[in-house]
Amino acid sequence: MKLLARIPAWLKNKYTITSLVFVIWVLFFDDQDIFTTYFKHKSELRTLEESRNYYLDQIKITKSELEQLKSDKSTLEKYAREKYWMKKENEDLFILPE
């Protein structure tokens, strides 16, 4: 009885106890708790940043290739022959599988 007398009245309230249990459950034990969600989002953010950096590098490479194609006619011809298998009128094209 002495122990129950020391507990404040607002902690004995059933709504307070229920609310407190609910908050603790949501914060720590639920599937969508704070820590799991935080680490999952952190991992996803890291993956997206790596993806972003990869695509930014690819954009730089593509822009430099485009500048080379615009400036050098022999590079443009080489690119057309390798990528699109284009040929001159008097040539035969043989495609060998790798």
Tens of each residue's pLDDT in the chain, 98 residues: 677 778 788 778 889 889 999 988 888 888 888 888 899 999 999 999 999 999 999 999 999 999 998 998 888 888 888 888 888 888 887 778 88
The model's pTM is 0.57
In this predicted structure, what is the pLDDT of residue 98?
81
Spatial distance between the Cα atoms of 65 and 59, rounded to a whole number of angstroms? 10
Distances (CA, A) of 56 to 35, 40, 48, 79: 31, 24, 12, 22
In this predicted structure, what is the pLDDT of residue 59?
98
In this predicted structure, what is the pLDDT of residue 1?
61
Length of the chain equals 98
Distances (CA, A) of 58 to 22, 30, 41, 49: 49, 41, 25, 14
Spatial distance between the Cα atoms of 84 and 66, rounded to a whole number of angstroms? 16
In this predicted structure, what is the pLDDT of residue 57?
98
Spatial distance between the Cα atoms of 16 and 48, rounded to a whole number of angstroms? 42
Read off the amino acid at residue 63.
K
